[in-house]
Amino acid sequence: MSRASDLTFMRTFSGGDPEKIKKYVGMFIKMAAPSLSQMDESSANSDWKSLKTTSHSLKSQMKYMGMASGAEFAQRIENICGDGAGTEEIPELLANLRTQVEQAIAELEDELSKL
């Protein structure tokens, strides 16, 4: 299985400072699960505006964590919510996004333990 995350950008962004890396990775880990829960709730309520907003925010954070595949799922969700077409794809996209986030969190926690 390929990695869901890559801290190359974060290392550059933080100047290689382990404390800054820990701070930003910790923030992502802390906010990812609540964001996914909010996205599930928004989807269940057909609240596409809220889902689009949360997806956009999570996508930005995933990019910092080098989560290209996860960010692509979030972008697709964001686009669907903006267009209003293809909303039947959202449950599968959310499931794929959740898988990517869960894998990335495990990888990131492992990375944190090495800093």
Residue 93 clears pLDDT 90, i.e. is over it: yes
> Does residue 65 belong to any structural domain of this protein?
yes
Per-residue pLDDT tens digits for 61-81: 999 999 999 999 999 999 999
> Does residue 3 belong to any structural domain of this protein?
no
> Does residue 1 belong to any structural domain of this protein?
no
CATH number at residue 44: 1.20.120
Per-residue pLDDT tens digits for 18-47: 999 999 999 999 999 999 999 999 999 999
> Does residue 2 belong to any structural domain of this protein?
no
Its pTM stands at: 0.92
Q: Assign 96 a pLDDT band (cuts: 50, 70, 90).
A: very high
Mean pLDDT, range 77-92, rounded to an integer:
95
How far is residue 14's CA from residue 110's CA, in Å, rounded to a whole number?
18
> Does residue 62 belong to any structural domain of this protein?
yes
Q: How many separate domains does the chain show?
A: 1
The parent domain of residue 13 ranges over 8-114
What pLDDT sits at residue 115? 87
> Does residue 49 belong to any structural domain of this protein?
yes
How far is residue 49's CA from residue 114's CA, in Å, rounded to a whole number?
39
Taking phi over 0 as left and psi of -120 to 50 as alpha, with beta for the rest, 46 belongs to left
